Amino acid sequence: MLQDKDRIFTNLYGRHSPELEAAMKRGAWHLTKEMLDLGPDWLCDQIKASGLRGRGGAGFPTGLKWTFMPKEVRDRPHYLVVNADESEPGTCKDREILRHDPHLLIEGCLVASRAMRAHACYVYIRGEYIAERHALEKAVKEAYEARLIGQNNLNGWDFDLYVHHGAGAYICGEETALLESLEGKKGQPRLKPPFPANAGLYGCPTTVNNVESIAVVPTILRRGAQWFAGFGRPNNSGTKLFCISGHVNKPCNVEEEMSITFRELIEMHCGGIRGGWENLKAVIPGGSSVPMVPAEQIMNACMDFDTLRDLKSGLGTAAVIVMDQSTDVIKAIWRLSKFYKHESCGQCTPCREGTGWMMRVM
């Protein structure tokens, strides 16, 4: 179980003020300039050494992803884009960061942009996240007024941050569709290659990262890569935000150590399964787009990328949806199929036609 002293998101539940002064008392913006002065290569090496993997679903090594950006800035500027288009059913972790700890995200954007030699960052927020957008915009204004970001800021790296509000399309959570939307076009995925690191926003080198992936970066650098790597199993290290919903006694969002077992996660933070463990039927462990896992397989499984992949599922966004024996699994899958049919952009035939057939078959 993760100890309180090791938690990165110390205001996850909004018990304290999200404003700059309070955030700085919790450790935000501490030694930021000193970290930036160590240069892009040091920043990338530290994130690679920490073992941080993308928290948005795919679990790709974050430090490695950053190194795909060109080493030199020529005639095309570099961009960082933060994917806050959190639309996966069951997922609500980034919402809490935007509401209650926005300065961790803003500081992370600055540090990550320095690592990739970018002077501008766009945060793309889900259309339905009105209060979250206001909270982030307020925090961005505070950071500008304190000269923590902006031109000629106190941290020594010119940096501008723009908040872009989406229009409620699930498909814009896909990184290239997000870039299309950000450019003012219809949100549809692009063909790859070229990848965003070569031709992303406005045809320039771009990295797209999840909110949680970026927000943990400053704390990793302050406390050390080995500190972060010390949690969890090899190749599945660090802390992780879990969104637990469904048939548990106390649904919640919680930051925990990666590779914690499902049973321990539920017992520690949710008060157990509704009706007892023998009443558990199945679990969707990583948001609605990953396959469900039967009770007997998930009970003592580690909640990490590799273990759940071996169970033919995935950690995804760590949105844990618990189903007890009262659940009609066919009806549940039908409802999810209906969601994906509605949200399909219709660009590709298998998705456009297949999601409808999935719904009708169910």
pLDDT in tens, 112-139: 999 999 999 999 999 999 999 999 999 9
Residue 252's pLDDT is 95
Read off the pLDDT of each residue in 8-12 and give the average, rounded to a whole number.
Answer: 95
CA–CA distance from 204 to each of 112, 149, 197 (Å)? 17, 22, 8
Enclosing domain of residue 154: 4-229
Same domain, 13 and 104: yes
Whether residue 274 is found in the same domain as residue 214: no
Q: How far is CA 333 from CA 86, 283, 358, in A?
A: 20, 12, 9
Model confidence at 362: pLDDT above 90: no
Last residue of a domain, one of 229, 261, 282: 229
pLDDT of residue 104: 97
Q: What is the pLDDT of residue 256?
A: 96
Can you give the pLDDT at residue 72?
Answer: 87
Mean pLDDT of the region 308-337: 94
Token representation of residue 131: 């209060």
Angle between helices 349-361 and 329-343 (to 10 degrees): 150
Residue 108 has pLDDT above 90, yes or no: yes
- Quick one: pLDDT at residue 147? 97
In tens, the pLDDT along 133-170 reads: 999 999 999 999 999 999 999 999 999 999 999 988 89
| Interval 315-330 mean pLDDT | 95
- Residue 221: pLDDT band (50, 70, 90) is very high
For residues 79 and 195, state if they share a domain: yes
Closest CA to 52 of 188, 228, 197, 270: 228
pLDDT at 134: 97
Determine what percent of the chain is predicted with pLDDT higher than 90. Answer: 87
How much of the chain, in percent, has pLDDT values that exceed 70?
Answer: 100
Give the whole-angstrom CA distance, residue 87 versus residue 158. 32
| pLDDT at site 58 | 85
Residue 88 clears pLDDT 90, i.e. is over it: no
Mean pLDDT within 192-218: 95
Q: Are residues 108 and 215 in the same domain?
A: yes
The SS3 of residue 313 is coil
Where does a domain end: 229, 257, 288? 229
What does the alpha-carbon distance between residue 22 and residue 16 come to, in Å, rounded to a whole number? 7
Q: Which residues contact 22 (CB under 8 A, 6 or more apart)?
A: 11, 16
Alpha helices in the chain, H assignment, sequence order: 20-25, 32-37, 40-50, 62-67, 93-100, 102-115, 130-145, 175-182, 211-215, 217-223, 225-229, 262-270, 295-298, 305-310, 329-343, 349-361
269-298 average pLDDT score: 95
How large is the average pLDDT for residues 75-88? 94
C-alpha span between 193 and 188 (Å, rounded) = 15
Q: Are 81 and 173 in a shared domain?
A: yes
pLDDT at site 237: 94
pTM (2 d.p.): 0.94
Of 188, 214, 229, which marks where a domain is finished?
A: 229
260 and 220 belong to one structural domain:
no
What pLDDT was estimated at residue 74?
Answer: 85
The alpha carbon dihedral of 352, 354, 359, 361 has a sign of positive
Nearest to 288 by CA among 324, 255, 334: 334
Instruction: Specify the pLDDT at position 57.
Output: 84
Please give the mean pLDDT across all residues of the chain: 94
Q: How confident is the model at residue 345 (pLDDT cuts 50, 70, 90)?
A: confident
Q: For the chain, what is the domain count?
A: 3
Q: How far is CA 21 from CA 25, 149, 175, 217, in A?
A: 6, 15, 33, 20
Domain shared by 171 and 52, yes or no: yes
Same domain, 12 and 117: yes
The pLDDT value recorded for residue 27 is 94
Provide the pLDDT for residue 346.
85
224 shares a domain with 91: yes
Q: Could you give the CA distance from residue 324 to residue 314 in angstroms, rounded to a whole number?
A: 20
Q: Are strands 239-246 and 206-210 parallel, antiparallel or unpaired?
A: unpaired
Which has more confidence, 72 or 179?
179
* Same domain, yes or no: 35 and 179: yes
∠ CA 305-306-308, nearest 5°, is 70
* For residue 89, cis peptide bond before it (omega within 30 degrees of 0): no
Which tens digit of pLDDT belongs to each residue from 223-280? 999 999 999 999 999 999 999 999 999 999 999 999 999 999 999 999 999 999 999 9
Rounded Cα gap, residues 56 and 109, in angstroms? 16
Query: Could you tell me the two tokens for 227?
Result: 């500190």
* CATH code, domain with 295: 3.10.20.600
CA pair distance 149, 162, nearest whole angstrom? 11
Phi and psi at residue 33, in whole multiples of 5°? -60, -40
Q: How many Cα neighbours within 13 Å face the side chain of 272?
A: 6
Q: Helix crossing, 93-100 with 102-115: angle to 10°?
A: 100
> What is the pLDDT, as a whole number, of residue 73?
86
d(Cα 184, Cα 188) in Å, to the nearest integer?
Answer: 11
Give the tens place of pLDDT for each residue, 93-104: 999 999 999 999
Indicate if 125 and 248 belong to the same structural domain.
Answer: no
CATH code of residue 143: 3.40.50.11540
Q: Are residues 125 and 148 in the same domain?
A: yes
